[in-house]
């Protein structure tokens, strides 16, 4: 798989940064966009700069209903109306009714396999319901978070119950997470977006922390 950060608070030279998150995932035969950032123009600009094309996206997954993760959706659907959208069932009915005109919606409740080696955790949390993605690769399991409002620990436990394998990588927004011991043994730590304690994670795990932002591409 190839993971590409196309929206984040930090950016490589030549890319545009903004508050929000989006990650493009390319498997052998499927292109997935996880979250769509806040501003569609910025999203499309960054995708173009990284040679990622909206019309080729097969699946869009939205982690939760906050605008900094859904704002660019309309821009993608304005170009590509042949995509499948996976959203937590708890998304507002008005939102679902509006986007159903432009794509096929899959409402997520529990864990499910989206395509080979890519699963959703299902919607987690109470006040803010959110789903994360889990990717199975040769090195283990990579979890991609939107904001982890419901807690990193609860997601790790949910993935453990799914029985997919050992979590070896974490990427995305971790919000106010500070139970750092949960990160022991994880080989790759890539916190970004809304992560409050990014510097502390970098200090505690210098060998596994990796700074990322718009323009970051990695093979797993």
User: Domain map of the chain by residue range?
Assistant: 2-219
pLDDT given at position 48: 98
Burial of 126: CB neighbours in 10 Å, binned 0-12, 13-18, 19+: exposed
pLDDT given at position 38: 98
Q: In whole angstroms, give the CA distance from residue 144 to residue 44.
A: 21
This prediction's pTM: 0.97
pLDDT given at position 109: 97
pLDDT given at position 44: 98
pLDDT given at position 7: 98
Q: Which two tokens stand for residue 92?
A: 């507002």
Q: Tell me which architecture the domain covering 2-219 has in CATH.
A: 4-Layer Sandwich (3.60)
Report, as ranges of residue numbers, the positions in the chain whose pLDDT lies below 50.
none
Q: In whole angstroms, give the CA distance from residue 34 to residue 23.
A: 5
Q: Which residue, among 66, 206, 67, 54, has the nearest Cα to 150 in the 3D structure?
A: 66
pLDDT given at position 148: 97
**How many residues belong to the chain?**
220
Q: Which residues of 168-189 are buried (b: 16+ CB within 10 A; e: fewer)?
A: bbbbbbbbebeeeebbeebebb
Q: In whole angstroms, give the CA distance from residue 129 to residue 131.
A: 7
Q: Which residue, among 27, 29, 74, 28, has the nearest Cα to 54 in the 3D structure?
A: 74
pLDDT given at position 211: 97
pLDDT given at position 209: 98
């Amino acid at each position: 798989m190839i993971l590409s950060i196309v929206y984040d608070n930090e950016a490589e030279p030549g890319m545009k940064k903004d508050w929000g998150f989006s990650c493009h995932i390319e498997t052998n035969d499927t292109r997935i966009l996880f979250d769509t950032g806040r501003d569609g123009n910025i999203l499309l600009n960054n995708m173009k700069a990284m040679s990622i094309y909206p019309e080729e996206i097969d699946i869009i997954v939205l982690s939760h209903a906050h605008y900094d993760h859904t704002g660019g959706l309309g821009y993608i659907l304005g170009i590509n109306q042949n995509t499948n959208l996976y959203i937590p069932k708890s998304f507002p009915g008005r939102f679902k009714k509006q986007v159903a005109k432009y794509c096929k919606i899959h409402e997520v409740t529990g864990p499910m396999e989206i395509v080979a080696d890519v699963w959703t955790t299902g919607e987690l949390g109470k006040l803010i319901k959110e789903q994360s993605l889990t990717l199975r690769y040769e090195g283990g399991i990579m979890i991609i978070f939107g904001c982890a409002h419901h807690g990193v620990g609860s997601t790790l436990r949910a993935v453990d119950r799914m029985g997919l394998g050992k979590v070896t990588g974490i990427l995305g927004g971790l919000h106010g997470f500070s139970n750092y011991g949960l990160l022991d043994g994880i080989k790759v730590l890539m916190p970004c977006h809304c992560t409050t304690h990014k510097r502390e994670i970098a200090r505690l795990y210098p060998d596994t922390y990796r700074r990322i932002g718009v323009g970051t591409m990695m093979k797993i």
